[in-house]
């Protein structure tokens, strides 16, 4: 199986929520798992996918592992979305032109 890319890692709502939680700072697995209706092993699997996609890094602290958000790979998503942002800005500008023309009639 190939390593997950950023897009496949973000395709799961649990993983997206984990990333949102990690925006607030590093969290232990148990801490993260308490926010979901999932067991710790399931959350650990999601964290492994995020780690392989390089979206999180783990830090051992004693017997626990803390996870940190690494937002750098998200620039790939931002680059991809920019094409759509440009497209929709053009479409909305064209719609505005049509509406302006209609209001002048």
What three-state secondary structure class fits 28?
Answer: strand
Domain 1-69 is found in CATH 3.40.50.720: no
- Give the DSSP letter string of 41-93: HHHHHHHHHHHHTTSEEEEEETTEEEEEE--TTHHHHHHHHHHHHHHHHHHHH
Interval 23-33: pLDDT, tens: 999 999 999 99
**Residue 39 dihedral angles phi and psi, to the nearest 5°:** -80, 165
The full set of domain ranges for the chain reads: 1-69, 71-104
Taking the C-alpha atoms of residue 42 and residue 56, their distance in angstroms, rounded to an integer, is 16
Q: Which residue has the higher pLDDT, 97 or 49?
A: 49
Question: Confidence band (pLDDT; 50, 70, 90) for 56?
Answer: very high
More confident residue, 3 or 9: 9
pLDDT score of 1: 56
Confidence check: pLDDT of 68 > 90: yes
pLDDT, averaged across the chain: 92
Mean of pLDDT values over 34-41:
89
pTM over 0.85: no
Residue 83 is predicted with a pLDDT of 86
- pLDDT score at 67: 97
How is the beta sheet containing 56-61 ordered, strand by strand?
Answer: 27-28, 64-69, 56-61
Q: Are 30 and 40 within 8 A, CB to CB?
A: yes
């Amino acid at each position: 199986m190939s390593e997950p890319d950023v897009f496949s890692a973000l395709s799961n709502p649990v993983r997206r929520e984990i990333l949102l939680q990690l925006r607030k700072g590093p969290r232990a697995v148990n801490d993260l798992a308490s926010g979901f209706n999932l067991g710790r092993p399931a959350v650990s699997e999601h964290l492994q996918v995020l780690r392989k996609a390089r979206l999180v890094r783990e830090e051992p602290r004693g017997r626990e592992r803390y996870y940190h958000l690494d937002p750098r790979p998200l620039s790939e998503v931002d680059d991809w979305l920019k094409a759509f942002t440009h497209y929709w800005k053009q479409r909305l500008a064209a719609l505005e032109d049509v509406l302006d023309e209609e209001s002048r009639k």
